[in-house]
Amino acid sequence: MAERTLLVSKINNGTVIDHIPPGKSFKVLSILSIDSRISYTVTIAVHVLSKKGGYKDIIKIEDRFLQRDELDRISMVAPGATISIIKDYEIVEKFTVKIPDEIVGIVNCPNQNCISNSREPIKSRFVVKSQKPILIQCFYCQRPLTDLEIITNI
């Protein structure tokens, strides 16, 4: 009988980002600066059926472990994504991304008159008002931002 399954190799060391809301993997790749210049292997699955129902995207990155600020960015564009850290082909750590209580230096305030957009060395700062659906508010000018605005200003 013809072989009806394809095997994508397991990764030896690296990171799996699973349960990404369908279609959001492109934004996650952009956050991680994964483009044609990379020199490590990345496997991407878009709009695949999830065992938990509905659809999801998955990204598997060899030989790369994510930094805190990268995880914080991902939490805002792909809430509910799970991170598995792989060492010697086994999961050594697994967790769900969590939106931080305060978002500092990650999202730009869309208000051009906001002090965080002046020449002063002031980092952008947002307070999280709601996690689901995500709603954040600028600490300096009180401008609220919802999910789509966050994605374009991250």
Ligand X SMILES: Nc1ncnc2c1ncn2[C@@H]1O[C@H](COP(=O)(O)OP(=O)(O)OP(=O)(O)O)[C@@H](O)[C@H]1O
Which spans of this chain sit near ligand X (rule: CB under 6 A)? 10-11, 16, 18, 58, 60, 82, 84, 86, 89, 91, 94
| Residue 32, C-beta contacts closer than 8 angstroms, at least 6 positions apart | 61, 64, 66, 70
Nearer to Zn ion, 43 or 111 (CB): 111
Q: How near is the Cβ of 42 to ligand X at its closest, in Å?
A: 12
Residue 123, number of CB atoms within 10 A of its CB? 9
135 phi and psi angles, rounded to 5 deg = -140, 125
Binds 114: which of ligand X, Zn ion, none (CB < 5-8 Å by kind)? Zn ion
Nearer to ligand X, 94 or 129 (CB): 94
Which H or E element spans position 93?
Answer: strand 90-96
Per-residue x/- mask for Zn ion, residues 82 to 121, rule CB under 5 A? ---------------------------x-x--x-------
Amino acid in the structure at residue 149? E
Nearer to Zn ion, 91 or 127 (CB): 127
Binds 117: which of Zn ion, ligand X, none (CB < 5-8 Å by kind)? none
Q: Which of 120, 97, 115 is nearest to 19 (CA)?
A: 97
Whether the CB-CB separation of 56 and 20 falls below 8 Å is answered with yes
Task: Tell whether residue 31 is a contact of Zn ion (CB under 5 A).
Answer: no
